[in-house]
Structure 1
């Protein structure tokens, strides 16, 4: 790993890779370090929205991503078979009037290939153990005894960010009571192959979304999710919460996991020459599929801001990045929280919720605002 660099990025997920691609394209020396021996090949996040595809265009990866993913022009909120809110993206003023369903593993591979084409690489495995900064830069120390000196350091190392902790930045918020179960499955019946569906239920929410290759992503709130959900567990989730007239039959669980979700935003996005992005700066419910999108939009904005700061020596661009992206993260956290709250409302209030949502859904302005919010175009 280089002993000195313009920018050191900690974390080689989508956010960190996108920051690195942006800087490499601008001609800066950028070093990416990650504590994993190899990239994570599980799918995790799967939805890429219109605004994210727009901001990734200058990085030269959008065309490859859209060619590999499923174009889903509709998002539907349901209570079993009853449609509560249909959201159609096809009339949005964008070149990408849909949600792109593509696994996070593929998104990372595409970004990494682009970085390598620009002459960059990811140094693995290097675990950050300390950092010190002064008026000229940051010195990062790693667990193997090595050090890297950088003009700026980006923390894109996830919710449990060592960078954020070392920089002394608080992470204010809380944790949802429920755990979340995630599974990529093969199924038949009940759900369309080009539409993302969010099912509301007194037992909790469940999202069913198509993935390339004929698989489907299932995400559900569960009091105590199993470490590795099996066919019987996922089948029960869909039997209780999914479509009733044409039940879904789970044939295989390709991969599964569990996680607990926090709703937090970093108290500051910047401490001197250390800057945060992605899950290191904000985490929230997966309802609405906003997580990776917010991180990639951070990355595009931060890459531009760092480039300008490196060229001019001015701190203003980084202050501007924080001033724009932190309020956007707060909006995303609130929006995802509201969706989660609506989805998990108790049985007593379920009829009232359904009536109110169906009344709102007949209003074109409501459907339009929801489409703009989900697609991320509201953050233009």
Structure 2
């Protein structure tokens, strides 16, 4: 397709939040010509998300933004859990998840994440086109989109369109995709507050009471502290009512006096999933495809991982002729929609325990606030159970075993314990006579083909732009593992490279002989 500026456009992205920015970055780095538009006049200042998971850091790593993110956030946050008159220190960083270069969650503002992604795109020559309102599209060997910019109507043509325009997505509505689910009978109150009292700075505080949890985070943007708590959806108390907020602090046993509230808002909470993630050349990602409760910090992370699963596929598909990209395009919804369904169930359960209004969650919170102080250290010592739960929250256990892009050859033995469809775990390996971490080896934007020590391969071990081939000398045997750009194993065989070329051809990364 030809865009009005005369350049061939592969992907048009609507929405410049974290998901849209990540999708633009991923698609660009795999060779797609992209544009990203947003109806807002500029980037929003205030954040609604504050936690980046290890799995999200893994998918961002090949794109050169990790050092900046780590510098802006806290890679080992501490938490004080306030249970009535007891304050229980919790140090999640001491757990250190195995098999990943990022063993802890990163506490960082959503606004900072977006600023880092915008800078990365700007360095690649891609600028967000603000005040550009998407209104409609028509399918025509791709899409032709109607966009209004400063009151002027324009057309933008592209091979593919990604709707990353939030829970009220115009792209989703225009595509005729239903939005299944409902609103919670609660809202999230967010406020930046100035405090005076006995609250240790630089630490996240969680207060527990009968009606729910109150989070006090050292990530405020208009003041030092940010408050998050669930509230009934009524306007009896304005978000900026200091007496109401002080009452919440007192109930949660946070011994601090609120001296100022320079900013606050209420956010509607929903649990919804789009009935489909694709209609022809139109795709949905992030909050346009799913929206959850904030419990567990899953929303922003799930959106970025949507972008990781979609960006490379559209870039590769744009170079495949005719219908040869059908399987590649079909795989996005087959992989990511089941993940969203699992995340929705998890966040629904967590939000019920955190803010449910019925007698059962209320009694559970009362019991834990009374007896939880001595139980927390005991729970923290159950490392195996705790590691499993944290890996689940960190989305390190999500898999694509049933994806049309997953191929497992059961013959022979492979050096990688994880089957095809799972993320490849990190470990120390020997390549080119040097020891290094596997995740460092594959931290470049490409498909990575890992040959065991004795595997026969006729093509020279040189990159072809989309494929990098590595011989892992510390892996004896004749197996082959192909790692997708998003870090999942697409192909695994214990008996040579038979079938590997077919897989590479399927995704448009077939090696060239020289």
**What TM-score comes out, normalization by structure 2 length?**
0.67
Q: Which residue of 2 aligns with 1:378?
A: 397
Cα distance change, pair 306–336 in 1 and its aligned pair in 2 (3 A): same
Match of 2:385 among 362, 366, 372: 366
Q: Which residue of 2 aligns with 1:146?
A: 154
**Whole-Å Cα distance in 2 between the matches of residues 317 and 242 of structure 1?**
53
Match of 2:142 among 118, 125, 137: 137
Task: Indicate if the aligned counterparts of 1:87 and 1:370 stay in contact, CA closer than 8 A.
Answer: no
Match of 2:42 among 34, 38, 41: 38
Structure 1 range deviating more: 328-337 or 174-183: 328-337
Q: Which residue of 2 aligns with 1:235?
A: 246
Offset, 1:219: 0.8
**Whole-Å Cα distance in 2 between the matches of residues 193 and 378 of structure 1?**
33
Structure 1 range deviating more: 5-14 or 141-150: 141-150
2:212 is the alignment partner of 1:220: no
Which of the two has higher C-alpha Rg? Answer: 2
2:54 is the alignment partner of 1:50: yes
**Whole-Å Cα distance in 1 between the matches of residues 277 and 245 of structure 2?**
38
Cα distance change, pair 348–92 in 1 and its aligned pair in 2 (3 A): closer
Q: Deviations over 1:68-104 (max 9, x none)?
A: 1123345676644557995734421232233222222
Offset, 1:212: 7.4
Offset, 1:373: 2.2
**Whole-Å Cα distance in 2 between the matches of residues 301 and 280 of structure 1?**
15
Offset, 1:353: 6.0
2:312 is the alignment partner of 1:304: yes
1:64-103 correspondence to structure 2 within 5 Å: 64-74=68-78, 79-81=83-85, 88-90=92-94, 91-93=96-98, 94-103=100-109
**Whole-Å Cα distance in 2 between the matches of residues 125 and 100 of structure 1?**
31
Gaps of 5+ in 2: 399-422, 424-514
Match of 2:121 among 100, 115, 118: 115
Gaps of 5+ in 1: none
Cα distance change, pair 25–349 in 1 and its aligned pair in 2 (3 A): closer
Offset, 1:255: 2.4
Cα distance change, pair 242–176 in 1 and its aligned pair in 2 (3 A): farther
2:293 is the alignment partner of 1:289: no
**Whole-Å Cα distance in 2 between the matches of residues 337 and 78 of structure 1?**
24
Paired residue secondary structure (2:162) = strand
Offset, 1:293: 1.0
Match of 2:336 among 325, 345, 366: 325
Offset, 1:114: 0.7
Task: Indicate if the aligned counterparts of 1:184 and 1:254 stay in contact, CA closer than 8 A.
Answer: yes
Task: Indicate if the aligned counterparts of 2:209 and 2:366 stay in contact, CA closer than 8 A.
Answer: no
**Whole-Å Cα distance in 2 between the matches of residues 335 and 84 of structure 1?**
25
Offset, 1:44: 2.0
Q: Which residue of 2 aligns with 1:265?
A: 273
Offset, 1:317: 2.2
